[in-house]
Structure 1
């Protein structure tokens, strides 16, 4: 009788572990892909922030290497990202009684081309955009710019990850 209980427990535990093995905690499904190529994203916006291109490209590469088992390659990757930064703009958001801006919004827009060489039906070209608000009395330099870019780049890279491998 004990033997049957042990065998049953072993089978149940085995099934649970096998079923959980297909789940990814990051939500990403890279299929049979082993490598990823993420090209440099040049800044083609009218207003240019010099550090943005390198920072965005590095953060996108870091996200994929941290949350997937893909190996980063410089050419011929199974998954391939390319594109450009197409927008970097500051707009006033809310006014005061003195007809001045109380808050400004920094918006960054990125055009992304994704190619999945193993599953061509997953290919896309999309525009991703996100923003960060900051006080109108603040200059968009130093820590204000860093905080805004941190928020924007984190959201943009996560949105790109979700659209490409998480399929959200």
Structure 2
């Protein structure tokens, strides 16, 4: 602790408080930063998200609808942009192109090769259009895996929405980070 004749004792904590206040004031003056981690231009007012069709020939029948609704919910929770049916300043469209369930780790058991772990892999092709800044547009395939015990077959995975949702949530987070968080 140091002593200042004009203002009295100064401690490290009062210095940190002053620094924090200045830092927060500087952040609030920057209109494209938000605490959700987004980096959205202030001129962007709307977002449109088309239905992601499941063209993979696999997966639960509700996969397309569930993925699209989760996608919309994620953006609604993490941005203040208004969602519109079409022609938003930010536009997302795409399709679920793979829903694969296959052995990931082969083990020898009783002289035979058997799956020790099965892996679910989901791939989603996403086209992102930013009408305010076309340099940020992209078309990319996002993929995430999830491993399951070999005792769980594809039917049990399809009947367990939480298992599939864990994978799709990671894909949605990756798309969010690439499009509006600029990671």
Q: Give the TM-score of the pair, scaled to structure 2.
A: 0.80
Instruction: Give the unaligned 5+ runs of structure 2.
Output: 1-5, 8-17
Q: Which has the greater radius of gyration?
A: 2
User: CA, structure 1 residues 89+14, in 2 after alignment: closer, same or farther (shift >3 Å)?
Assistant: closer
Instruction: Report 1:19-168 matches (<5 A).
Output: 19-21=26-28, 22=30, 23-31=33-41, 32-98=43-109, 99-140=113-154, 141=156, 145-168=160-183
Pairwise CA RMSD: 2.1
Larger fraction in helix: 1
1:93 Cα deviation (Å)? Answer: 0.9
Range 134-143 or range 21-30, more displaced: 134-143
User: CA, structure 1 residues 14+93, in 2 after alignment: closer, same or farther (shift >3 Å)?
Assistant: closer
Aligned residue pair count:
160
1:76 Cα deviation (Å)? Answer: 1.4
Q: Which runs of 4+ in 1 moved over 3 A?
A: 11-17, 142-145
1:75 Cα deviation (Å)? Answer: 1.4
* Relative contact order, higher structure (CA 8 A, sep 6+): 1
Q: In the aligned structure 1, how far is the partner of 2:100 from the partner of 2:158?
A: 18
Q: Give the TM-score of the pair, scaled to structure 1.
A: 0.86
